[in-house]
Amino acid sequence: MITITTDFSSREHYAGVLKGVIKSYGDIDVVDITHDIDPFDILHGAYILLNIIGYFPPDTIHVMVIDPGVGTSRKGVLARLERGYFVGPNNGLLTFVRDMVRDIYEIIVPSDASRTFHGRDVFVPVAAKLAMGKWPENLKKISKDSIISLNIRPPQLVKNAIMATIIHIDSFGNVITNIPDNFVKFTPGEEIFLNYHGIHKCIFRETYGEGKEGELIMLINSENFLEISMNKGRASNFLKANKMDEIMIELP
């Protein structure tokens, strides 16, 4: 099975071409994750990869084409993960799964490959061969130290506060931080103060529906990160939030 995630948009033909190339290798199951990532948004791709791996069969190949550096000196890679494989550019997409990488290989670009469409000519051929049980021949093993990661500071306890980073804003306007559920414990109904573009009082809830309409809440989302939300509202708009911004959560 192969999954495909791109920033090609659903309006263009590019994602369909990827699937056509895959199908030319044989009867391979293909799952579209999304093609509507904002152009060049590597962070979004990295977040998606982290959160899909555990829900697919262990030999699934995850192709990701969010590739602003296509045709440049940036390397394409095949990474063998604890569960499945990743195929795509080495440009930060492996940020959140770096510790899951068991082996990584540089993909040697064929001489006849397009300089502007490595998804079609480089990545999906490698994925399709692997899905058909054949080890691609145009690979060179490289060090895991060569994995490129985005510059995201892990959450830190600083006196009576947590410093964290916004790593995702979803289509509902929920603001997802990089604070894992085991980093700190809050009690349902507890007041928490967020220092970000001002001081904001949030109530810790266990579900979205427990919040009053328009109330700023925090909860642990289904992906086990601390999230800032607003029942029937957009927390991201209210907070003027941007991905990669650092925030401070004041502890009692």
Distance CA 138, CA 35 (A): 27
Q: What is the mean pLDDT of the chain?
A: 97
Residue 106: the pLDDT is 99
- The pTM score is 0.95
Q: What's 2-146's CATH class?
A: alpha beta
Asked if residue 252 has pLDDT above 90, the reply is: no
The pairing of strands 101-107 and 139-142 is: antiparallel
Contact yes or no for 165/248 (Cβ under 8 A): no
Query: Hey, which residues does 193 pair with through a beta bridge?
Result: 201, 250
Q: Give 83's pLDDT tier (boundaries 50, 70, 90).
A: very high
Q: Confirm if 245 and 196 have CB atoms less than 8 A apart.
A: yes
169-203 residue pLDDT tens: 999 999 999 999 999 899 999 999 999 999 999 99
**Using CA atoms in the order 35, 37, 39, 42, what is the torsion angle rounded to 10 degrees?**
-120
pLDDT attached to residue 102: 98
Question: What is the model's pLDDT at position 159?
Answer: 87
What is the assigned CATH class of domain 156-250?
mainly beta
Where along the chain do its domains lie? 2-146, 156-250
Per-residue model confidence as pLDDT tens digits over 87-127: 999 999 999 999 999 999 999 999 999 999 999 999 999 99
What would the pLDDT profile of 7-20 be if each residue is shown by its tens digit? Answer: 999 999 999 999 99
pLDDT given for residue 184 in this prediction: 86
- Collapse the DSSP code of 71 into the 3-class scheme (helix H, G, I; strand E, B; otherwise coil) and give the result: coil
- Label residues 25-43 b or e (16+ Cβ within 10 Å = b): beebebeebbbebeeeebb
Q: Are 107 and 125 in contact, with CB atoms under 8 Å apart? A: no
pLDDT at residue 226 above 90? yes
Residue closest to 187 by CA, chosen among 163, 220, 214, 154: 220
Q: What integer is the mean pLDDT of 41-53?
A: 98
pLDDT average, residue stretch 225-246: 97
| pLDDT of amino acid 121 | 98
